[in-house]
Amino acid sequence: MSDDRPVRGRCPLCGKPRQQAFRPFCSRRCADLDLARWIGGNYRIAGQVAYDGDGDPAAGHDRDEGPGGAS
């Protein structure tokens, strides 16, 4: 059996039919584009800045970004 067979649904990036080998995407290109968006910070999960025990933002967070956005 080939991994190139389509699966139900559409690619979330371009809308082409999904391929089993790259699910939920249609191709390596779309999978790589999605990964690049995650790495580049284009996708973010909404929430408040996490603080360590000293009241400083935890590692990986900018000091000027708080619940109200950048200041």
Q: What are phi and psi of 2, to 5 degrees?
A: -95, 145
Quickly state the pLDDT bin for 55 (edges 50, 70, 90).
low
Read off the pLDDT of residues 20-34 as tens digits, 9 standing for 90 and up.
999 999 999 999 999
In this structure, the dihedral spanned by the alpha carbons of residues 12, 14, 17 and 18, taken in order and rounded to 10 degrees, is -50
Residue 52 pLDDT greater than 80, yes or no: no
In this structure, the dihedral spanned by the alpha carbons of residues 63, 66, 68 and 71, taken in order and rounded to 10 degrees, is 0
β-strands 17-19, 65-66: how paired? unpaired
Q: pTM for the complete prediction?
A: 0.56
Quick check: helix, strand or coil at residue 70? strand
Higher pLDDT, 27 or 65: 27
